Structure 1
Amino acid sequence: MTLPVDASLCAWGLEGAPCSFVAGRENQVFRVTTKAGDFALRIKRPGYRDEAELVSELNWLQAMERAGLRVPRPLPSRAGRLLEKIDAYHVDMVSWLPGKPLGKSRQPLELADRCGTVFAIGETMARLHAACDSWQRPDGFKRCHWDLEGLLGEAPLWDRFWDNPSLSDATRALFVRFRNQARDRLTDLAPSLDYGLIHADLVRENVLLDGGRIALIDFDDGGFGFRAFDVATVLLKNRAEPDYADLRAALIEGYASVRSLDLANLDLFLALRALTYVGWIITRMHEQGGIERNERFVIEAESLCEALC
């Protein structure tokens, strides 16, 4: 199906504006250049999020920008709507933020001030969580839940990791054993854990550095979840760094400089985060590099689960 790029530009009164493809997965993203600045045109994958979820994300972004966070600012269409339906697609437009990604997956971090930068990311994450708690959500607000069921239920948000077809019998048994133990543990812990709106995907590519400023992008998977899960997501992608222990400490210290958070069970959330990727890749193994990506995800999840089982 042809993407409605021209019709989308028209809906925002930007007919003929220079437009170039940037990336595609859950969104097909195009960079649009205008006299008023650059914007990201995002054409949504049909069926991934419903209209209420998509509008809620945009309302959330507006609120976080008003709270002083550097996040994409939604741009209303010519009709005054944040979200448009064009053909079979939902479409929105958000501001293009300056800066470069923190890094790329599986490549060494290249930062002049490694711990200082990670400290600032922890600080920014804590500011996000605090702003989310202070925000009065509008009626009808709807986002996914990275809760006990969303992580370990019969239908997890990112698929049944224990059913990944590439797993050996031993690895499958390990993941099932960990799932059972983690369900019991999380059931006991949940009432006392910090739970609220989280970004849920703060990988390197979604953290932009612009001088000393940090921006957070790509809230597609954001929703309600354990705040420790957000911390674990940042750390998981940096476990291979030689100074990981220092980076971990810096992230936690940065977070604690803004608000308190019980991270006594952080290793549990690292394992849970790793397992989500084992589920996520199930329907994507046919993509280029999918087999290799799956192998990495399984190996990392194995090591984290074995340490806790």
Structure 2
Amino acid sequence: MATSSDHPYSALTPDTIMDAVESKGLYCDYRLYPLNSYENRVYQVGIEDSTPLIAKFYRPQRWSKAQIQVEHDALHALEEEDIAVAAPIILDNESLFEHNGFYFSLTPKIIGDSPEAGDLDQLFQIGELIGSMHAASADWTTDAKPFIDSLERVKQAKRKVEACPFVPKSMRDGYEKVVVSLGKKMETMLKTHSTARIRFIHGDCHRSNIINDQGRLTLVDFDDCKMGYAVQDLWLHITDASAKQTQLSELIEGYESFCSFDAQELDLIDVMMAERHISYTAWIAERWNDPAFPAIFPHFIGEDFWRQHLHDLNDIVAHWGKWR
């Protein structure tokens, strides 16, 4: 895969992007627009005498070819079941391509915006969309993207955060204390729910990964698809703690139009919330050599970021176990 003395995307110039697209027999019209994507690089590419395509260049050394293929195969299988997803196009029986050391895919452009945060009607529709996706993939398994215990993910993330030079010395003891406390709570909760069903999930199903195309909600970006718990694809749509029961009710009612939901999984939201907060911070630290990250997260090096991070973790501890 691509190597660089600077960062993984140093070699991904505009000419490289257009050469990659044209290597598949398509002709660019030199209109190239970068889209929001931190982990990968995604561009809208103008195509002569046709509608633009979305070119996604995968971060080198993050996923293997087999793991990316799992994502593509899942999207095509869901599309065949009439589930609204953004599936990559197939050219010469392939959907995953390689050019100049980069894996990339091409997807039709979908026009629309993310759903409105907290809108109850749209939460019901989001629940329907996720439920239909889970119903269609009910018997799927994948060795390439296996289930990984949340405790293990937190342990890995904790080591990365502790190695980060930007953590203020005055906050290191507080960070250690709260993460240890959360780890104990997570372990107890996971043991209590050890029989919860593991299934195929989107894995990063937040609002920005859904496009509202004139009322039709479409799931995009299956990068993090894997084996996990159903509730993991639902809880990120809760945007207001004071209205969480109402929002959950709409999500689950929509979900159960297609797929049954085990309400006991709601207890696992605290586990996932803790994991996401810690892993997110570790992710920024790990990607800091990518010039996009200091530009997007300039506050990461300041005390205010870490003070807020500690506050959020302590808040999870304080409100643990109140989702049902």
Unaligned runs of 5+ in 2: 1-9, 289-293
CA positional deviation for 1:295: 5.0
In structure 2, the CA distance between the partners of 1:45 and 1:162, relative to structure 1 (3 Å rule), is: closer
Partner of 1:55: 69
Partner of 2:151: 152
Letter in 2 for 1:252: I
RMSD: 2.7
Unaligned runs of 5+ in 1: 104-108
Describe the SS at the equivalent of 1:100: coil
The answer on 1:12 being equivalent to 2:12 is no
More displaced stretch, 16-25 vs 210-219: 16-25
| Separation in structure 2 between the aligned mates of residue 28 and residue 190 of structure 1, nearest angstrom | 37
Maintained 8 Å contact 2:189/2:271:
no
Letter in 2 for 1:46: P
Q: 1:196 aligns with which of 192, 195, 199?
A: 199
| Separation in structure 2 between the aligned mates of residue 293 and residue 69 of structure 1, nearest angstrom | 39
The answer on 1:116 being equivalent to 2:130 is no
Partner of 1:179: 183
Describe the SS at the equivalent of 2:194: helix
Q: 2:36 aligns with which of 5, 8, 23?
A: 23
TM-score, L = length of structure 1: 0.83
Q: Map 1:63-142 onto structure 2 (within 5 A).
A: 63-77=77-91, 79-103=92-116, 109=117, 114-134=119-139, 142=144
Maintained 8 Å contact 2:186/2:271:
no
Amino-acid identity (%)? 20
CA positional deviation for 1:19: 2.6
| Matched residues, number | 289
CA positional deviation for 1:122: 0.8
| Separation in structure 2 between the aligned mates of residue 38 and residue 62 of structure 1, nearest angstrom | 20
What do residues 26-46 of structure 1 show as CA deviations (whole Å, max 9, x unaligned)?
Answer: 211011233443321001110
CA positional deviation for 1:94: 1.5
| Separation in structure 2 between the aligned mates of residue 13 and residue 175 of structure 1, nearest angstrom | 51
CA positional deviation for 1:293: 5.8
| Separation in structure 2 between the aligned mates of residue 8 and residue 99 of structure 1, nearest angstrom | 26
CA positional deviation for 1:7: 2.1
What do residues 230-266 of structure 1 show as CA deviations (whole Å, max 9, x unaligned)?
Answer: 222222xx135x6443222211221123222112342
| Separation in structure 2 between the aligned mates of residue 133 and residue 64 of structure 1, nearest angstrom | 11
CA radius of gyration, larger in = 2
